Amino acid sequence: MDTKYEDYAKVFKAFCDEKRLRILELLRSGEKCACKLLEDLDIGQSSLSYHMKILVESGVVESRQDGKWTHYTISEKGSDYAAELLKTLTTPDAINVKDNCCKA
C-alpha cells in the first residue's frame, strides 16, 4: 500500500469515532490535561490513552508532558492539513471530469 494513503487514513481514522469527536469538541476550548478529559468523558485511562494515540498520530492533536500528566491541544497545522486533505480528495479533477470509459 502507498505510504501516502496510509497517512491519509490516519487522519480520517481520527474523525471516525464518537469518543474522539467528543475529545476534539472538548479541546476546542483550549488545552486539556488527560485528568480533565478522563473526568469529562467518564472513561478509563486505557481507553483515553488509545483514543489520544490515534488523535496524536493523525497530527490533529498535539501532546506535552507535565510531570506525570499529559496535556493535549488541537494542532492548528494538523487541523489545517486535515481540512485541506478532505477538500483535495473530494474536489473533482477538472482534467478527468469528462473521461467516461463506459460511454458507448
45 secondary structure, DSSP code: H
| pLDDT at site 2 | 77
Given a cut of 70, the residues of the chain with pLDDT beneath it are 1, 94-101, 103-104
| pLDDT at site 93 | 81
Per the CB < 8 A criterion, the answer to whether 37 and 72 are in contact is: yes
Residue 5's alpha-carbon distances to 1, 2, 11, 12, 30, in angstroms, are 7, 6, 10, 11, 30
Q: What is the dihedral of CA 30, 33, 38, 41, to 10 degrees?
A: 0
| pLDDT at site 103 | 66
Is 3.40.640.10 the CATH number for 3-89? Answer: no
| pLDDT at site 1 | 57
| pLDDT at site 94 | 67
* Predicted TM-score (pTM) of this structure: 0.86
